[in-house]
Structure 1
Amino acid sequence: MDSPPQSHVRGNDDALLASLGYKQELKRDFSAIQIFGISFSIIGVLPSVASVLVYAIPNGGASAMVWGWATCSIFLVFIAMAMAELGSAAPTAGGLYFWTFTYSPPRYRRLLSWLVGYTNTIGYIAGTAGVDWGLAVQIMALASIGSDLSFTPTVSQTFGVYCALLFCHAIISSMATKIVARLQNIYIALNILLPLAVIVALPIATPTEFKNSAGYAFGDFQNTSGWPDGFAFILSFLAPLWTIGGFDSSLHLSEEANNASFAVPFAVMSATTLGCLLGWGIVVALAFNMGSDLSSIVDNPVGQPFVTIFLNSFGKTGTIAIWSFIIIAQFMMGSSSLTASSRQTWAFARDGALPFSSYLYRINPYTGTPVHCVWFSAFCAFLLCLLAFAGTAAIGAVFTLGVVSQYIAYSIPITARVLYGKQFKPGRFNLGAYSRPVAIIAVVWMTFAWIVLLFPTAPAPTTTTMNYAVAVMGGTLVLATIYYFFPKYGGVHWFEGPLANIHASSLGQTVSGKV
Structure 2
Amino acid sequence: MSLQHNQHHHPIESERTRKDDDKLEHLGYHAELKRTFTSWETFGVAFSIMGVVPSIASTIFYNLPYGGPVGMIWGWLISAILILFVGLSMGELASSMPTSGGLYFWTHRLSPPRYRNFLAWMVGYNSFLGNVAAVSSLGWACSGIVFAAASINNESFISTAGQQFGLYIGILVVCGLICAYGTNIFARLQTPSVILNVLLSLVTIIGLPIARRHELNTAAFTFGGFVNLTSWPNGFAFLLSFLAPVWTICSFDCAVSISEEATNASVAVPQAIVGAIGSAGVLGTVILIILALTMGLDVAAVNDDALGQPLAYIYLQAFGQKGSLAVWSFMCIAQLSMTASLILPSSRQAFAFARDGALPFSRYFHHVDTFSGTPVRAVWLVVGCAIPLGALCFADPINYSAINAIFSLAIMGPYVAYGIPIGAKLLWGQGNFVVGVTRSSNNQLEMTQFQELHTDEEELFQPGPWHLGRWSRMCGIIAVTWMTFAIVLFSFPADTDPDAGTFNYACLVAGAVWIFATVYWFLPRIGGKTFFQGPQTIEGGMSIEQDTLSPPEIEDPSSKKNGGAPEFHGGSHISPVPSNQL
TM-score, normalized by length of structure 1?
0.92
Name the structure 2 match of 1:330: 335
Matches within 5 A, 1:333-372: 333-364=338-369, 368-372=373-377
> Secondary structure of 1:108's partner?
helix
Greater relative CO (CA pairs within 8 A, separation 6+): 1
- Within 2, Cα distance between the matches of 1:505 and 1:446? 32
Matches within 5 A, 1:75-474: 75-148=82-155, 150-174=156-180, 181-206=187-212, 208-209=214-215, 211-364=216-369, 368-391=373-396, 392-421=400-429, 422=431, 423-474=460-511
The Cα offsets for residues 317-376 of structure 1, whole Å up to 9 and x where unpaired, read as 111111112112212211211112022112222322122333433445665543332232
Higher helix share: 1
Supply the AA of the counterpart residue of 2:87: A
Q: Does 1:35 align with 2:71?
A: no
Contact preservation (8 Å) 2:20, 2:263: yes
- Within 1, Cα distance between the matches of 2:467 and 2:20? 18
How big is the shift at 1:463? Answer: 1.6
How big is the shift at 1:29? Answer: 4.3
Correspondent of 2:518 among 481, 487, 490: 481
> Secondary structure of 1:455's partner?
coil
Supply the AA of the counterpart residue of 1:137: G
The Cα offsets for residues 230-286 of structure 1, whole Å up to 9 and x where unpaired, read as 112211212211211112112123334344323321221121111111100111001
- Within 2, Cα distance between the matches of 1:279 and 1:94? 30
The Cα offsets for residues 38-82 of structure 1, whole Å up to 9 and x where unpaired, read as 322221100111111112122111122211111111111111111
Contact preservation (8 Å) 1:141, 1:302: yes
> Secondary structure of 2:252's partner?
coil
Contact preservation (8 Å) 2:29, 2:541: no
How big is the shift at 1:385? Answer: 2.7
- Within 1, Cα distance between the matches of 2:374 and 2:29? 16
Relative to structure 1, the CA distance from residue 218 to residue 394 in structure 2 (aligned partners, 3 Å threshold; closer, same or farther) is: closer
TM-score, normalized by length of structure 2?
0.82
Contact preservation (8 Å) 1:169, 1:335: yes
- Within 1, Cα distance between the matches of 2:368 and 2:98? 19
Instruction: Give percent identity, aligned residues only.
Output: 45
- 5+ residue gaps, structure 2: 1-8, 432-459, 549-568, 572-582
- Within 2, Cα distance between the matches of 1:22 and 1:374? 25
Q: Please, which moves more after superposition, 326-335 or 174-183?
A: 174-183
How big is the shift at 1:461? Answer: 1.4
- Within 2, Cα distance between the matches of 1:322 and 1:511? 58
Bigger-Rg structure (1/2): 2
Q: Please, which moves more after superposition, 390-399 or 53-62?
A: 390-399
- Within 2, Cα distance between the matches of 1:55 and 1:323? 20
Contact preservation (8 Å) 2:25, 2:541: no
Supply the AA of the counterpart residue of 2:163: Q
Contact preservation (8 Å) 2:393, 2:402: yes
Correspondent of 1:503 among 533, 536, 539: 539
Supply the AA of the counterpart residue of 2:463: P
Contact preservation (8 Å) 1:26, 1:369: no
Relative to structure 1, the CA distance from residue 365 to residue 414 in structure 2 (aligned partners, 3 Å threshold; closer, same or farther) is: same
Supply the AA of the counterpart residue of 2:248: T
- Within 2, Cα distance between the matches of 1:309 and 1:187? 23
Supply the AA of the counterpart residue of 1:103: L
> Secondary structure of 2:189's partner?
helix
Relative to structure 1, the CA distance from residue 386 to residue 221 in structure 2 (aligned partners, 3 Å threshold; closer, same or farther) is: closer
Contact preservation (8 Å) 1:176, 1:368: no
- Within 2, Cα distance between the matches of 1:401 and 1:284? 27
- Within 2, Cα distance between the matches of 1:374 and 1:253? 18
> Secondary structure of 1:131's partner?
helix
- Within 1, Cα distance between the matches of 2:160 and 2:389? 18
The count of residues paired between Structure 1 and Structure 2 equals 508
Relative to structure 1, the CA distance from residue 295 to residue 491 in structure 2 (aligned partners, 3 Å threshold; closer, same or farther) is: same
Contact preservation (8 Å) 2:28, 2:541: no
The Cα offsets for residues 398-432 of structure 1, whole Å up to 9 and x where unpaired, read as 22111111111111110110110031122232111
- Within 2, Cα distance between the matches of 1:466 and 1:376? 27
- Within 2, Cα distance between the matches of 1:464 and 1:123? 23
Q: Please, which moves more after superposition, 113-122 or 162-171?
A: 162-171
- 5+ residue gaps, structure 1: none
Contact preservation (8 Å) 1:62, 1:221: yes
Contact preservation (8 Å) 1:45, 1:275: yes
Contact preservation (8 Å) 2:395, 2:501: no
